[in-house]
Amino acid sequence: MSLQTLWFVLIAVLWVGYFVLEGFDFGVGILLHVVSKTQAERRAVLTTLGPVWDGNEVWLLVAGGATFAAFPEWYATLFSGFYLPLFLILIGLIVRGVSLEYRSKYGRPQWRSRWDLAITISSSIPALLWGVAFANIVKGVPLVRDVQGVVHYSGGFFNLLNPYAILGGLVTFSVFATHGAIFLALKTSGTIRDRANALVMKLGLAAAVVTVAFLIWTASAYNDKPLVWILATVVAVAWVTALAFNYRGREGWSFLFSAIALAFAVITLFATLYPNVMPSSLSPDATLTITNASSTHYTLRIMTIVAAVMTPIVLVYQSWTYWVFRKRISADQIPSAEDGILDTINL
């Protein structure tokens, strides 16, 4: 395996980690007003994210940094061509982080309600736009190579809002919402758990329809290699298994298979891309591949050594965090807002 291929695989793994972990974060935010009706219930819902949400976002930072270092031309073309949607995602992530930190800094109910609404909106926007962005990368975007050999994006924002990309956005939005509902069913008890479980089947079936349509479109139109069809089948089987386990009340297994389905969905997209990293819809000559978009061999070699040392440390630490905060949470454990205690506690 070449270093270019190795780093393509490692970047795919980083996106798998981000979508699996940040996916349920987004889902919880999307469903905040659906599964919780009182301030105590909302606090309980957000407390499930309290110890982990900012750590989950590290996967995005590392994926972006790895892309910049390993495939700088891919990074430059991606961020220049997708500037507006990526900027909206960035704004959403900023507002979401501020909302989670600030909602309990002041005692008035209106204050918390406004920040709760901000959490829902700022979770929904990235959940939708990530699907739009990745669908466009797989489909191909209007790239041209100038006389100096530099690749440029020649389209506009509305070029990105094509039917295939919009379907991709609906896939990530619905799958993240279902993944978040399964996570809440696993991490809460009482009324919140009951509401979350009731949502899983409804959201999961809707997500299954759009996901199957998207995967069939992807495999048939953009890469019909047998491997892509096999991976798409794994996604479908894992998703149905997750819904079946949830129906039987086995939330732990349901969450595991939901995570597997998300992971293989990302793997399917990267398998569809390979060996390209950003196909051109205008000229094959402008297509970026793992070869013409990569850094030097020396750079990739140094990055590989650093990754080999640091990645296990990060994985062990994050696994330990999830183990420590593995208990269920209920609204009965949350102090009443009227006694003034809630105002001094984060989230």
* Model confidence pLDDT, tens digit, residues 56-104: 888 999 999 999 999 999 998 888 888 888 999 999 999 999 998 888 8
pLDDT, position 9: 95
For the segment 119-129, the average pLDDT, to the nearest whole number, is 95
pLDDT confidence bin for 336, thresholds 50/70/90: low
> pTM of this prediction?
0.90
For the segment 12-25, the average pLDDT, to the nearest whole number, is 94
Q: Return contacts of 189-196, CB within 8 angstroms, 24+ apart.
A: 189/328, 189/329, 189/330, 190/330, 190/331, 190/332, 191/41, 191/331, 192/35, 192/36, 192/41, 192/44, 192/45, 192/330, 192/331, 193/328, 195/34, 195/35, 196/31, 196/35
* Model confidence pLDDT, tens digit, residues 264-290: 999 999 999 999 999 988 888 889 999
Q: How far apart are CA 320 and CA 326, in angstroms?
A: 10
Domains of the chain: 9-141+157-335 (1.20.1630)
Structure tokens at 280: 């051109």
Distances (CA, A) of 172 to 61, 134, 180, 229, 315: 19, 10, 12, 19, 25
For the segment 211-231, the average pLDDT, to the nearest whole number, is 86
For the segment 236-241, the average pLDDT, to the nearest whole number, is 95
Give the burial class of 246: count Cβ atoms within 10 A of its Cβ; 0-12 exposed, 13-18 middle, 19 or more buried: buried
DSSP 335: P
